[in-house]
Amino acid sequence: MKERITITLDSELIKQIDKRIDGDIIKNRSQQLELLLTKALGTYRPEKAVILVGGKGTRLRPITYKIPKCMMEIQGKTVTEHLFDLLKKYGIRDVILSVGYMKEKVKDFYEDGSKFGVNITYVEENEPLGTAGPLKLAREHLNDSFIVTNGDELKNLNIPRMFRLHKRKDALATIALTTVTDPSQYGVARLSGSRILEFVEKPKAEDAPSNLINAGFYIMEPEVIDMIPDGFSMLEKDVFPKLATQGRLRGFPFAGQWFDIGNLERYEVAKKKWTGVSLYDEAE
């Protein structure tokens, strides 16, 4: 709930505030002041992130006969380490790894996360639970806004910007959206402003409602977990359509790099083109 206040500021300070209004994410002085205060108070991004690394990676065989896909290397780091870099860039160090396939190898390699600069808690899938089921296992650790990211993609986006949109629109879930040239191989977002109305699955290029697809990176509220059915379930099919119907699902388009490494061909492309997460770029 928001409340209106009146404040008096020096005219030069107001000029500095006005310079930061971009007309897109930040539309007025009130929103910019709120942003500055949240940054000053340390509340400008979620505190915890769940990384889904339990999949078998069948499309990456024979590599994944020996190692889980989250431990495949790109430019000297495992895929999960690149995700750690993104989180650490914005001060997020509490990570929950949802493990399943070859879970002992994953736990032996990442341990408590200290050697990677993060704090890792594990939840274990004794049977495949999809993209939604693992969140129920992590429920006791998720009491405030949190991040969920697929573990088989590389991505570079501005998390505080995404979080501001999520909070400003009072969303229960916000999905990062990346642009692709050919949307016919993906679920494509149909939007009204930032509100996601639906995803159209693998449309013909000429029928696609946009070129924006789900980038496998979400900000959610704990209430979403209560909507997840028991057993195997998918955020994309079992949860997001319900949120869209309620008007509580938002989309955050971003321009930073994104690579899906879900098969061998895409993995090779990522190895050649991924530039990593820099502490100095804005990912936008």
Domain residue extents for the chain:
12-44, 45-273
CA end-to-end distance (rounded Å), the chain: 29
User: How many other β-carbons are positioned within 10 Å of the β-carbon of residue 15?
Assistant: 9
Burial class (CB in 10 A: 0-12, 13-18, 19+), 181: exposed
- Tell me the pLDDT tens digit for each residue of 97-155: 999 888 899 999 999 999 998 999 999 998 889 999 999 999 999 999 999 999 989 99
* Mean pLDDT, residues 146-165: 93
Query: Across 58-194, where does the E strand assignment appear?
Result: 73-74, 77-78, 94-99, 119-124, 146-150, 153-155, 173-179, 187-192
User: What does the alpha-carbon distance between residue 143 and residue 46 come to, in Å, rounded to a whole number?
Assistant: 11
User: What does the alpha-carbon distance between residue 221 and residue 209 come to, in Å, rounded to a whole number?
Assistant: 27
User: What does the alpha-carbon distance between residue 122 and residue 98 come to, in Å, rounded to a whole number?
Assistant: 6
* Mean pLDDT, residues 2-18: 83
Average pLDDT, the chain: 86
Query: Which carries the bigger pLDDT value, residue 33 or residue 197?
Result: 197
Pick the CATH number of 45-273 from 2.60.120.620, 2.40.50.320, 3.90.550.10, 3.90.950.10: 3.90.550.10
Residue 83 token pair: 């995700």
What is the signed CA dihedral for 214, 218, 219, 224, rounded to 10 degrees?
Answer: 100
Residue 24's pLDDT is 53
* Mean pLDDT, residues 215-242: 93
User: Are residues 153 and 269 in contact, defined by beta-carbon separation less than 8 angstroms?
Assistant: no
